[in-house]
Each structure stands twice: as structure tokens, then as C-alpha cells.
């Protein structure tokens, strides 16, 4: 105690400089964060605390789903704002009011949805996962942070690590696909990239894991609906990415809109307090999703907004996003003894901790520079192109690809010249005029001689452009057909009942196919599509996804064979929408050969992990040996037996054929992507840690490891080994 007092005093003397007295401890940059938090908390009134728990929007909100009530005359002490504009001057003025006009001068934390880039837009997260390259995900997240932080954003509402197995849900675009291991690896990479070594770094931002938890399971693929998730699936499928990213140091979490087994995530004490803050030791804060506190009333979980505020804060929610329930009712609830000072203090403490760690007290303002000085530097555009090239997936090739220069190509289709479609949803400050379309990319790579016509719109029934398209195709050596989705067809509140593209686009493909010319289909979309019918009309398919600012040239370079495609699917493409839900790591049915669809095949069109290359990779025999310390080593040699260098991703799966609970038919446990020269053989290994890789988690989150046979699966090779718990 004695030491502590001396320490505080000496720091105060050293810091000096505060006119009229000693600088309070919380304003001393060198004091430990926890001491600063304690000090500040001890000085705050209840009203000041409640304002810290409240978030509003500042400036225009670019999320069309979230245009709502306008709040005027907010007090200067509001803790957080969503800042979607690029008006740094107004942002600084608002911050100045908080820092200079309030008694304690607590800075605002500004958040924004920097989902796949700020000014430079990267491929959508679903595409990023198809690169199987977490290093690139980390790099681009760091680059996005380096544009966002100087632009006034301290905190991004990203990554979204919701597992999604129903692509009718528009938000599949925002996550890393259907597999928990993939989402964990990519989510951790994003957290590292956003946050770096220190949050106070002027080029990093705080990350936010969302939407905790189970949002991706929205029933029927319809956004905002309830989810019914067993505790087993919760722990096995939906929670692992969160646990991994919390361990990685993610500073904030956003609770989900959905309810889980009858309790909305916004007020789910088990998830927010017991698991997240308790078992996982999370020391950051939880923000609700937009208006989700008041939505507890629509969900039938609270009889009024006041009760909603009570239930949410008591469950462990720390910040109320934009629904004004905390500000309106918490003080009353404390007076009535329904909410304790302890709960309020706990939430404030968490928010202040992150603000201190971000260095906001020392650096609350941003230099008022132009957008062009902060964004779209050549290196960020190059990185966007690199991720685009690694994330595109070659789905079909009957030999027509790669193309060669000097021949006549026609580019046809509604997506070809549409830069906006390339950006996808949540484009943040991405601008169409800074974005390369497919057509521009093709002209850039193949030369201006390429002809172009649109053929038809994205939807509707106007076929008046078909005749010109067909005539142009006839004059060409091959057609590059560009189909897909408008940007707004995926993302939030963008549910679809079918994954099929509108009929007009399929008809255009059929009309072109009738010319007998080779057709290469390029797809720009934010979700897996139903390609059963389209696939028959074309010779090759390249899944381009929504590649962001710089996707046109990489797509064209893949067509030319200048880049060997290396993307692999991180989500299953069903044959038809009727197969949904369909994903690779399902449990075995009781009669595996029966229960099949009578009208269509029961297997997907393209599996998780699938993707073609311009070369061949031959896998040798797999060997498994026991290592000291209870681990195992699986080894496999991979030879690039084709003529082109390329990147191959070795995907390691585990299967436990018999266990105390039924287990998925196989589960991804590790992967590695490497460059292999034509003719070269490389050795790949996977070190199996039994507790991490063989064990299962039960419905209480407990990991259990059993003796018995396990199988390691790589491509079409399976090797079994017997394991005994030591």
C-alpha cells in the first residue's frame, strides 16, 4: 500500500504541468492502464458512467438497414459514436466537445464498419478465406487499419466470424464460410492485422468479433430470425472461432440479433458473462448490435425498453448501440435497486480500458488531411489485387483455359462493366470511380481489341440486347461471359430464397452457348450460387467473387494463364438450393446410402476445399509416426507434375469413426499453402496434438479425448492410427 501511494505521487510530480495543480492519475500516460481506469472511475458520477455505455451515430449512416430515429442535443459526454463519414473536421470538433467541454474530458471512441477495407476495398471476407492465406488476411487488415485510423476510426466492427451454412443468408459474404477452423484461423489473422502489437499505434484499430453468437444459423437463411442451436453445435461449430479470437487478444465483441434457444444473444448471460468474460477471461467490452436492446421487446423477451435495458446490462452487455435504452433507463433502474452500481462500474471499466489502450486520452484528434493522402496508396491497391488473385476459384475448365493473346474475344454480360458490383456490400468509403471493372481488367491485359456488349440487365425480362450479343459472339473466338449479383444482393438484410441467378442471365448464357463458341463464365457474387443449369452452358467457370478495388486485372491474368489459379472454396456450392443446408462436416446419417433425394443427386456441385489449377498435383502416400511427448506427425509428399508453377494448399482433415458422441464425417484441422515449381516435390507435414486435434468438445465446452482409431484424410488419401490416452 505504502509503495503504491509513493508511486502515484511521484508520477504525479513527474507529469507536472497541469495548471492549477497535480495532473490526475488517469491523465498520466505512463501510469498503468488499470490504475488509470480505477482513478477515473472513482471520479465519475452515475450519469457520466451511463453516457460512456451509450453509442450513437455521427453524420450520415451508410447502412440502409439502419436509418432510424434521429437524436438531437446529445450531451457532450456520450462515450461512442459510429462515424461513417469522412469529415475529419467535424469529427475533431465533436471530440473536442467531449475532451474540453466535459468535467473529466473522456474522449469518444469512434467505430465504423471497416469490413473489407476503408478506402481501398479488398475482396469480401468470404473470398479472402478462399485464398487459404491467413498471412494475406493479416496484411490487408493491417492496411485497412492504416487507412481507417488516420481517417478518424478507432474501432472497426470486424471480423465477422459467424459460421454460415445457408447461403440464402446474405451475410455469408461477410464471414469466412462454413468451417469453424477456417473462421478461427482467418479471424485471428484479421485481429492481428487490425490491432497489431499495440492499440495505441496510430495505424491500428480495435477489432470487434461479431455477431456473438450463432447469427449465421438464421432460420431459413432469413436475416434477423431466431436460431435454434443445440449446446453441442454451439460449442462445436459456432463458438470455436470466438474462443480462438479472444485468445488472440480481440478487444471488443458485438452481440448478435438472434436468440439462441429462447434467449436473445443481447441478453444472454451464459454467453456474455459465464463463457466470454468468465471462462475465456475476456477483458474488453461487448457492444450490442444496432438497436438490439430495444429489439428485446420485439423478440418478446422484455415487456418494455426499460426492462430490456435491465436484462441486457445484467446479462453482461456493456455498450448499447444506438437505441438509447441505457441512457434513458439505467439511472432509474439503479435508483429502484434493479441494477447495481457494480454492474455499471464493470461495464464502464471495460470501455475505459479499451479507450486507454487505444491511446485516445493522449491522441484524441486526427490530422485533417484529404482522403487521397490517407487512402488508395499503390501498395494497398497492389495488396488488394494480390488477395483478389489468390481468392478467385477456378470451378470448371474443359481445356479452354488459359486463353492466349492475339485472338478475338467478346466480353458480354451485366457485370462486365459494373465497378459497383466488384465492391460488394459494406464498401465503406470505396468508390466506383476508383474501382477496376472486369472489362477494364480484360482490356488492360488482352488489349483494346476486345469487344463488349452488355447483353442484358442483372434481372428483368428485357432480351433486346441478346441479338447483338449473339452476333458479337459469332464474330469472336471465345466469349467471356460476366454474370452475377448486384452489390446489394448480398450483405445485411439481403436474404434470397434461391441461389439461382435471375432467369434472364441464364437465358443469355444459353443463347450464347447455342453459337457453339467456347464460353468462359466469370461470376461476380457474394454467396455460393446454384449453377446446375448454367454450368451446362459453359466451358469454364471462374468464381471472381466481389474482389474489391483491383479485381479486374487479376481475373484477366488468370484467364491468360499469367496467374495459375490457387483459390479453393471455403463454402460448399450446392447443386440446387433445395439441398440447403449442405456442408462438408455434417454427421453421418443412420442409413448413409438411403434417404437420398429422389429428384436430384444428393451431393453438392462443388465441395468445400475444391478448386482447379492449370497444373496437376500428385499426392504420395501418407505416413503417420508417433513423436515423443504424445504427439504424432503426418507426412505427405506433393509433386507438381504439370507444366506450370503454382500454389497448392494441402488440407488436413481428421475423422473419429467411433466416439461417445457422434462426430462429423471429417473436420479440417490444419492447412498449408505453398508455392511448388513445375516438376518439384515438396514434403508437407501436420503435427497432431491429440488434445487440440483429436479431442471433441461437449455441450458444456469441455474437451474430451478418447482412445481408439482416428483417421487422417488428405485429398483422396486416408490413413488410420490407434491412439491411447497416456
Catalytic residues: 289
The minimum distance between CB 113 and ligand BGC, in angstroms, equals: 5
Of 638, 593, 591, the C-alpha closest to 616 is: 638
Helix (H) or strand (E) holding 442: helix 438-446
Question: Which value, in Å, is the radius of gyration of the alpha carbons in the chain?
Answer: 27
C-beta of residue 576 within 8 angstroms of C-beta of residue 600: yes
Q: Which stretch binds ligand BGC (CB under 6 A): 61-69, 142-150, 177-185, 407-415?
A: 61-69
Q: Is the CB of 68 or the CB of 262 nearer to ligand BGC?
A: 68
Question: Helix 552-560 to helix 438-446 angle, to the nearest 10 degrees?
Answer: 50
Q: Please give the Cα distance from 52 to 80 (Å, whole number).
A: 7
Does 290 bind ligand BGC (CB under 6 A)? Our answer is: yes
What track of x and - describes contact with ligand BGC for positions 222 through 261 (by CB under 6 A)?
A: ----------------------------------------
Query: How many whole angstroms separate alpha carbon 605 and alpha carbon 530?
Result: 8
Q: Binding pattern to ligand BGC, positions 329-368, x when CB under 6 A?
A: ----------------------------------------
Nearer to ligand BGC, 67 or 514 (CB): 67
What string marks each residue from 15 to 54 as x (binds ligand BGC by CB under 6 A) or -?
A: ----------------------------------------
3-state secondary structure of 696: strand
Cis check: omega of the bond before 213, within 30 degrees of 0: yes
- Residue 85 sits in the site that holds ligand BGC (CB under 6 A): no
Taking the complex as a whole, the smallest distance from the CB of residue 495 to ligand BGC amounts, in Å, to 13
For residue 695, with 0-12 CB atoms within 10 Å meaning exposed, 13-18 middle and 19 or more buried, which class applies?
middle
* Minimum distance from residue 622 beta carbon to ligand BGC (Å): 41
Residue closer to ligand BGC (CB basis): 63 or 515: 63
- Residue closer to ligand BGC (CB basis): 111 or 547: 111
Instruction: Work out how close the CB of 84 gets to ligand BGC at its nearest, in angstroms, rounded to a whole number.
Output: 8
Minimum CB distance to ligand BGC, residue 245 (Å): 16
Q: Which of 7, 24, 39, 63 binds ligand BGC (CB under 6 A)?
A: 63
- Shortest Cβ 301–ligand BGC spacing (Å): 18
Binding mask 86-125 toward ligand BGC (x if CB under 6 A, else -) reads ---------------------------x------------
C-alpha 293/C-alpha 298 separation (Å) is 10
Contact (Cβ atoms closer than 8 angstroms) between residue 177 and residue 186:
no
Pairing of strands 393-397, 703-704: unpaired
Q: Helix H segments across 116-268?
A: 125-130, 134-148, 180-195, 231-233, 240-247
Strands (E), 345-450: 393-397, 409-412
Question: DSSP assignment, residue 629?
Answer: G
**Cell numbers 492549477: residue:** 20
Q: Which of 147, 166, 243, 289 binds ligand BGC (CB under 6 A)?
A: 289
Which of 10, 42, 65, 230 touches ligand BGC (CB under 6 A)?
Answer: 65
Question: How many secondary structure helices (H) and strands (E) does the chain include?
Answer: 22, 26
Nearest-approach distance from CB 69 to ligand BGC, in angstroms: 14
Nearer to ligand BGC among residue 289 and residue 323 (C-beta): 289
Task: Lay out the site mask for ligand BGC across 449-488 (x = CB under 6 A, - = otherwise).
Answer: ----------------------------------------
Q: How many residues bind ligand BGC (CB under 6 A)?
A: 10
Q: At what angle do helices 552-560 and 378-391 cross, to 10 degrees?
A: 50
For ligand BGC, the binding residues in 268-287 under the rule CB under 6 A are: none
In angstroms, the CA 392 to CA 387 distance is 9
Tell which positions 207-226 bind ligand BGC, by CB under 6 A. Answer: 210
Q: Which is nearer to ligand BGC, 82 or 109 (CB)?
A: 82
* Apex 642 CA angle, 624 and 564, nearest 5: 100
Scanning 59-67, 305-313, 324-332, 570-578 for contacts with ligand BGC by CB under 6 A, the matching segment is 59-67
Question: Grid cell 453516457 — which residue?
Answer: 51
Angstrom distance (rounded) from CA 432 to CA 423: 8
Residue nearest to ligand BGC (CB): 157
Near ligand BGC by CB under 6 A: residue from 434, 492, 535, 648: 492
CB closer to ligand BGC, 132 vs 290: 290
Cβ(551)–Cβ(388) under 8 Å? Answer: yes
Query: What is the rounded distance in angstroms from the CA atom of residue 485 to the CA atom of residue 704?
Result: 44
Query: Considering the rule CB under 6 A, would residue 157 count as an interface residue with ligand BGC?
Result: yes
Q: By the 8 A CB rule, do 213 and 256 touch? A: yes
Give contact residues for ligand BGC (rule: CB under 6 A): 63, 65-66, 82, 113, 157, 210, 289-290, 492
Amino acid at each position: 500500500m505504502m509503495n503504491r501511494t509513493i508511486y502515484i505521487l511521484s508520477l504525479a510530480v513527474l507529469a507536472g504541468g497541469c495548471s492549477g495543480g497535480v495532473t490526475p492519475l488517469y491523465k498520466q500516460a505512463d501510469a498503468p492502464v488499470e490504475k488509470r481506469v480505477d482513478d477515473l472511475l472513482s471520479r465519475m458520477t452515475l450519469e457520466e458512467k451511463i453516457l460512456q455505455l451509450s453509442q450513437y451515430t455521427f453524420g450520415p449512416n451508410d447502412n440502409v438497414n439502419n436509418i432510424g430515429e434521429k437524436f438531437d442535443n446529445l450531451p457532450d459526454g456520450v462515450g461512442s459514436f459510429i462515424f461513417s463519414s469522412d469529415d475529419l473536421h467535424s469529427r475533431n470538433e465533436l471530440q473536442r466537445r467531449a475532451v474540453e467541454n466535459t468535467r473529466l474530458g473522456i474522449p469518444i471512441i469512434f467505430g465504423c464498419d471497416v469490413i473489407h477495407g476503408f478506402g481501398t476495398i479488398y475482396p469480401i471476407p468470404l473470398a479472402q478465406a478462399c485464398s487459404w492465406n491467413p498471412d494475406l488476411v493479416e496484411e490487408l487488415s493491417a492496411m485497412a487499419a492504416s487507412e481507417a485510423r488516420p481517417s478518424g476510426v478507432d474501432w472497426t466492427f470486424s471480423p465477422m466470424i459467424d459460421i454460415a451454412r445457408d447461403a440464402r443468408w446474405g451475410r455469408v459474404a461477410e464471414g469466412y464460410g462454413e468451417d469453424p477452423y477456417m473462421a478461427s484461423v482467418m479471424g485471428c489473422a484479421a485481429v492481428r492485422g487490425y490491432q497489431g502489437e499495440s492499440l495505441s499505434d496510430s495505424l491500428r484499430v480495435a477489432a470487434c468479433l461479431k455477431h456473438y453468437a450463432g447469427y449465421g444459423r438464421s432460420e431459413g437463411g432469413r436475416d434477423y430470425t431466431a436460431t435454434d442451436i443445440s449446446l453441442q453445435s454451439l460449442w462445436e461449430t459456432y463458438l470455436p472461432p470466438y474462443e480462438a479470437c479472444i485468445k488472440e487478444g480481440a478487444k471488443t465483441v458485438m452481440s448478435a440479433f438472434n436468440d439462441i434457444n429462447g434467449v436473445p444473444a443481447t441478453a444472454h448471460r451464459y454467453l456474455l458473462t459465464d463463457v466470454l468474460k468468465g471462462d475465456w477471461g475476456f477483458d474488453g467490452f461487448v457492444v450490442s448490435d444496432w438497436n438490439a436492446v430495444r429489439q428485446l421487446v420485439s423478440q418478446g423477451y422484455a415487456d418494455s425498453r426499460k426492462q430490456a435495458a435491465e436484462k441486457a446490462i445484467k446479462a453482461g452487455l456493456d455498450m448499447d448501440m444506438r437505441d438509447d435504452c441505457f441512457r434513458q433507463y439505467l439511472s432509474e433502474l439503479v435508483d429502484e435497486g434493479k441494477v447495481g452500481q457494480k454492474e455499471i462500474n464493470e461495464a464502464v471499466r471495460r470501455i475505459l480500458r479499451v479507450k486507454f489502450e487505444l491511446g485516445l486520452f493522449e491522441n484524441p484528434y486526427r490530422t485533417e488531411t484529404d482522403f487521397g493522402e490517407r487512402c488508395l496508396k499503390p501498395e494497398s491497391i497492389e495488396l488488394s489485387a494480390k488477395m483478389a488473385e489468390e481468392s478467385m476459384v477456378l470451378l470448371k475448365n474443359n481445356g479452354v483455359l488459359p486463353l492466349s493473346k492475339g485472338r478475338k474475344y467478346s466480353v458480354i454480360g451485366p457485370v462486365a462493366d459494373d465497378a459497383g458490383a466488384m465492391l460488394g456490400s459494406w464498401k465503406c468509403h470505396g468508390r466506383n470511380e476508383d474501382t477496376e471493372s472486369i472489362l477494364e481488367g480484360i482490356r488492360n491485359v488482352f488489349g483494346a481489341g476486345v469487344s463488349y456488349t452488355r447483353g442484358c440487365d442483372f434481372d428483368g425480362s428485357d432480351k433486346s440486347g441478346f441479338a447483338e450479343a449473339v452476333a458479337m459472339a459469332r464474330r469472336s473466338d471465345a466469349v467471356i461471359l460476366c454474370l452475377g449479383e448486384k452489390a446489394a444482393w448480398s450483405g445485411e438484410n439481403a436474404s434470397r430464397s434461391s441461389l439461382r441467378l435471375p432467369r434472364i442471365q441464364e437465358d443469355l448464357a444459353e443463347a450464347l452457348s447455342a453459337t457453339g463458341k467456347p464460353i468462359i463464365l466469370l461470376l461476380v457474387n457474394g454467396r455460393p450460387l446454384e449453377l446446375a443449369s448454367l454450368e451446362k452452358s459453359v466451358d469454364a467457370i471462374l468464381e471472381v467473387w466481389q474482389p474489391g478495388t483491383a479485381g479486374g486485372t487479376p481475373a484477366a491474368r488468370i484467364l491468360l494463364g499469367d496467374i495459375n489459379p490457387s483459390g479453393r472454396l471455403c463454402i460448399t456450392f450446392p447443386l440446387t438450393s433445395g439441398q440447403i443446408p449442405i456442408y462438408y462436416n455434417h454427421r453421418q446419417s443412420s442409413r448413409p446410402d438411403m434417404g437420398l433425394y429422389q429428384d436430384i443427386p444428393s451431393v453438392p456441385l462443388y465441395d468445400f476445399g475444391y478448386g482447379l489449377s492449370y497444373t496437376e498435383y500428385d499426392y504420395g502416400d501418407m505416413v503417420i509416426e508417433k513423436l515423443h511427448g504424445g504427439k504424432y506427425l503426418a507426412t505427405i509428399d506433393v509433386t507438381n507434375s504439370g507444366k506450370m508453377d503454382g500454389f497448392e494448399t494441402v488440407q488436413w482433415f481428421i475423422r473419429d469413426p467411433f466416439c461417445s458422441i457422434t462426430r462429423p464425417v471429417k473436420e479440417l484441422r490444419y492447412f498449408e499453402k505453398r508455392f511448388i515449381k513445375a516438376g518439384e516435390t515438396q514434403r508437407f507435414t501436420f503435427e497432431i496434438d491429440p488434445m487440440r486435434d483429436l479431442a471433441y468438445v461437449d455441450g458444456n465446452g469441455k474437451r474430451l479425448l478418447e482412445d481408439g482409431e482416428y483417421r487422417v484424410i488428405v485429398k483422396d488419401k486416408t490413413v488410420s492410427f490407434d491412439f491411447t490416452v497416456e
